[in-house]
Amino acid sequence: MVLKVYADRLSQPSRSVLLFCKVIGIDFEEIQVEVLKNQRFSPEYKAINPMSQVPAIVDGHLKLFESHAILIYLSCSFPGVANNWYPSDVSKRAKIHSVLDWHHSNLHRGSVGLILNTIMAPKGFPSSPQAAKEAEKILMKSLNKLETFWLKDGSFLVGSSKPSIADISLVCDIMQLQLLSDKDFDRILSPYKKVVEWIQDTISATAPHFHEVHGLLFKAQKRIRGQMATQTVSALSKI
């Protein structure tokens, strides 16, 4: 039976799993679970992931959620996955686990918190300006650690010359910031030259799949930025 991937391309961990499947050439069926339509709370989806989050996979009898766990599982259970994605060397693998664990409470928490409390606030998510401010602080501190520590010894994370599942996971997360205004995106990212270069290197290393998997995000960006421009024009006309 073919691998089933339950995902929403507007969710950053969903994109990381879809992107990895495409990069390593796994045959899979993508099943859309639209977060904004609350499809993740349906009884059918809850039977696959009782936490009601995306992504999740079903592979034979195995139901699995949490994107890092899925990326590791795919690396280990499908044949022919190149060693750079999830190195077999125990020390190199330990470093990959370390950055993936760090990701949870730092970069991911910052980026999700900022987007939920700004861009997604009108969609009915619980939000507050204070939470947005705190999330941005976590995000900036995380980007600084990426620049000064995680990327200090190589083109990719933890001193690697080739990308791993950690690069895919973290870059897909940062891409969510594309939903912010042009000005905010530049203000947040531009101080971090190595981070910006690493994003480009990861995009190149996973081409052409990266752009395909992020197509829906860029459509959403266009719509959101268009609404922002309309609101600005409307506000200016009242001056």
The pair phi, psi for residue 70, each rounded to 5°, is -65, -45
**Among 26, 73, 155, 203, which residue interacts with a copy of itself (rule: CB under 8 A)?**
73
Positive or negative, the Cα torsion across 155, 159, 163, 165? negative
CB contact at 8 A, 12 and 173: yes
Q: Binding to a copy of itself by residue 94, rule CB under 8 A? A: yes
By residue count, the chain amounts to: 239
Nearest-approach distance from CB 144 to a copy of itself, in angstroms: 11
Select from 142-150, 160-168, 179-187, 214-222 the region that touches a copy of itself (CB under 8 A). Answer: 142-150
**Among 149, 159, 207, 211, which residue interacts with a copy of itself (rule: CB under 8 A)?**
149
Tell me the two tokens of residue 119: 């861009």
Residue number, 198 or 210, with CB nearest to a copy of itself: 198
How far is the C-alpha of 88 from the C-alpha of 112, rounded, in Å? 31
Q: Which of residues 46-65 bind a copy of itself (CB under 8 A)?
A: 50-51, 61-62, 64-65
Sheet holding 28-32, edge to edge: 28-32, 3-7, 56-59, 62-65
Rule CB under 8 A: which residues touch a copy of itself?
50-51, 61-62, 64-70, 72-73, 76-77, 90-91, 93-95, 97-98, 100-102, 104-105, 108-109, 145, 148-149
